[in-house]
Structure 1
Amino acid sequence: MHGTILTLLKRYVQTQYDHSTWIKLMELSGLEKVEFDHKTVYPDEHVYALIGHAAEMTGLSAGELHEKFGEYLVPDLMYMYQKLLRPEWKTLDMLEHTELTMHKKVRQEHAENAPPVLDVRRLGPDELVIDYVSPRRMSGLAVGIVRGLAAYYDEAERIDVLPTTADNGERVRIHVRRT
């Protein structure tokens, strides 16, 4: 997992809960000696351990936490990739272009990075389907990012997001529709 995601996870926990919660998660995960930085790629197991212990502490499922974190990530992602974005894009346009813009850049910058593959098919001007493919099985993060994008573009009340397959699989279909 790219260090940027882990440093943002740290900030998420610290702002939504507090610093001591982050320290506790790191200890429970056996990572108390690890300092995450945004330039390093870390084992996926670090994220699994942190989210797993966070689920135990909060009573939320890992999928719910992934979704909440995904929503939280959006403003930072939009800032990081602003040079790749077009001003006329809205939620569905962003989703349609993520694979060939942002994910392509991530893969070029760090060969060891493996963002999920997003096969996006536009079904019409107000509807698309995303086939999320990743051995990480973190489609909840993608669902959260979709919701976060809708909020970012002030379309949250008009965007319906529905995973149509099991949300913990390597392949997850997400249906997105603007009403």
Structure 2
Amino acid sequence: MHGTILTLLKRYVQTQYDHSTWVKLVELAGLDKVEFNHKTVYPDEHIYALVGHAAEMTGLSAGELHEKFGEYLVPDLMYMYQRLLKPEWKTLDMLEHTELTMHKQVRQEHTENSPPVLAVSRLGPNELMIDYVSPRRMSGLAVGIVRGLAAYYDEADRIDVMPTTTEDGERVRIHVRRH
């Protein structure tokens, strides 16, 4: 997992809860000796441990926490990738171009990092389907990012998440429709 995501997770926990919650979380995860740096790639197990313990602490599921964190990430992601975005894009356009713009750049700049594969099919001017594929099984993060994009673009989108297509959650269909 790219260090940027982990440093943003730290900020998310500190702003949504407090600094002592973050300290307790990294201790429970056995990561209190790790200094997260936005330029480093860390084992995926780090985020699994942090989110797993956060779920225990909050009573929310890991999927719900991923969604909330995904929503929170959007303003930072939009800032980081602003040079790749077109000013006329809105939520659906952004989703349609994520794989070939932002994810392509991440793969080129950080060969050891692998964002999920998003196969986006435009079903019409106000509707698309995202096929999320990742062995990380963090589709809740993708759903949260979709919702965060809708909020970022000030659009009242309705997001439908279709059932996973495999038992383990590596493949998830996300249906996005603008009313």
Q: TM tier, shorter chain?
A: over 0.9
Within a 5 Å distance, the mapping from 1:22-171 to structure 2 comes to: 22-155=22-155, 157=156, 159-166=157-164, 169-171=169-171
Q: What is the TM-score of this pair, normalised by structure 2?
A: 0.97
Q: Residues 65-92 of structure 1: CA distance to partner in whole angstroms, max 9, x if unpaired? A: 0000000000000000000000000000
Q: What is the TM-score of this pair, normalised by structure 1?
A: 0.97
RMSD over equivalenced CA pairs, Å: 0.9
Distance in 1 separating the partners of 2:130 and 2:7: 27
Q: Secondary structure at the match of 1:36?
A: coil
Q: Secondary structure at the match of 2:51?
A: helix
Q: Secondary structure at the match of 1:165?
A: strand
Distance in 2 separating the partners of 1:110 and 1:88: 28
Q: Secondary structure at the match of 1:129?
A: strand
Structure 1: which 5+ runs fail to align?
Answer: none
CA deviation after TM superposition for structure 1 residue 97, in Å: 0.1
Distance in 1 separating the partners of 2:61 and 2:30: 21
Distance in 1 separating the partners of 2:32 and 2:99: 34
CA deviation after TM superposition for structure 1 residue 166, in Å: 3.0
Q: Secondary structure at the match of 2:129?
A: strand
Look up the equivalent residue of 1:70 and give its one-letter code: G
Look up the equivalent residue of 2:14 and give its one-letter code: Q
Aligned length: 177
Which position in structure 2 is the counterpart of 1:13?
Answer: 13
CA deviation after TM superposition for structure 1 residue 24, in Å: 0.3
Q: Secondary structure at the match of 1:112?
A: coil
Q: Where does structure 1 differ by over 4 angstroms across 4 or more consecutive aligned residues?
A: none
Higher mean C-alpha deviation, range 161-170 or range 125-134: 161-170
CA deviation after TM superposition for structure 1 residue 38, in Å: 0.6
Look up the equivalent residue of 1:162 and give its one-letter code: D
Distance in 2 separating the partners of 1:16 and 1:35: 21
Distance in 1 separating the partners of 2:160 and 2:36: 33
CA deviation after TM superposition for structure 1 residue 175, in Å: 0.2
Look up the equivalent residue of 1:160 and give its one-letter code: R
Distance in 1 separating the partners of 2:117 and 2:175: 16
